[in-house]
Amino acid sequence: MEPKTPSLALTLIACLLLLPLFSHARILTNSPSSTPASRVAFLQHLKGCHKGDKLNDIPKLKAYLHKFGYLDDYTNQTSPSNNHYFDGRLENALKTYQANYHLNVTGAMDSATVASMMTPRCGVADIVNGTNYMQTRRRHGTGRLHAVSHYSFFRGNPRWRASKTKLSYQILPGMPEEAVAPVARAFQTWAENTQFEFRRDDHAELADIKIGFFSGYHGDTGSFDGPGGSLAHSSPPKSGLLHFDSEETWAVGSVQKAFDVETVALHEIGHILGLMHSSVPTAIMYPAVGDGVTKELSRDDVHGFRALYKV
């Protein structure tokens, strides 16, 4: 007997049922340029350079390391003509960066170091006022059973007061509507692992956390740099802000050449709660994340929160 051909109606129903499976991961925003040039593309030109070299892109490398806390304000300590030299201060800054990111500590721009620096990341610095948060080590556990965690806190351990466990957040004008749900899921994930509750409140005077998409300089202490480089930044307690770089390509889920809103939001909410960066690559508080990558909270993240809030 010939098998029956499915009716058109049944075929359409099957397609509609399968549609969510194929549309779960999707692009939300596109960079203004169809082929955007990464602001850290210059790093490719520095591959192989080392102390003693003089290259046109070295000032950009110094600016990158200065932005994330590895190099003091070199513009006040050397003449413009010397900015192009790969000097001892730059070599030491690179060694610190390499140690933080578990790379071979060579002090030179080897392939692994260039690749690491070109991975987009959080805009919050790794070293602030001389404190290297990526090198924090804490032991937890009792007796002979203990583990070493790599989470860290902001200087002074700022946190929300014990009676302030219900935080409100405001979605600022201009944020893509499809980005709201991934951010809400990120808040829910933190709520499930902490004593905090989060609710949306779009009244600016009342919200504890303000969330939006911005480009370039937008009035706070940080400035976005376009495609590549810094993806987002946020503030520690008790000044809640969460800003995404609108010039990046954002997505829901794993999409190549795009960044998952929920993953980045999870990281930035960690800052808002008081966590600084972790040196554990699997932790949500690790500073860098590649395109197409999705992540969840790790044990290191949860241990860090519990240690900060003593719960």
Q: Which residues pair with 181 in a beta bridge?
A: none
Q: Give the phi and the psi of residue 219 in degrees, each rounded to 5.
A: 100, -10
Contacts of 165 (CB under 8 A, 6+ apart): 195, 196, 197
- If we measure between CA atoms, which residue out of 69, 80, 83, 70 comes closest to residue 222? 69
Tokens of 23: 């549309």
Annotated binding site for Ca(2+): 208, 225-226, 245, 248
Contacts of 116 (CB under 8 A, 6+ apart): 101, 103, 288
Q: Establish whether the linkage from the previous residue to 238 is cis, with ω within 30° of 0.
A: yes
Helix (H/G/I), strand (E/B), else coil: 156: coil
Containing 250, the helix (H) or strand (E) segment is strand 250-252
Burial class of residue 67 in the structure, from the number of CB atoms within 10 Å of its CB (0-12 exposed, 13-18 middle, 19+ buried): middle
- The total number of residues shown for the chain amounts to 311
- DSSP strand pairing (209-214 vs 166-171): parallel
Annotated binding site for Zn(2+): 122, 218, 220, 233, 243, 267, 271, 277, 285
What does the alpha-carbon distance between residue 110 and residue 118 come to, in Å, rounded to a whole number?
12
Told to judge if 296 belongs to the known catalytic residues of this protein, a careful annotator would answer: no
Which of the residues 91, 177, 247, 268 is marked catalytic? 268
Annotated binding site: 122, 208, 218, 220, 225-226, 233, 243, 245, 248, 267, 271, 277, 285
Enumerate the active-site residues: 268
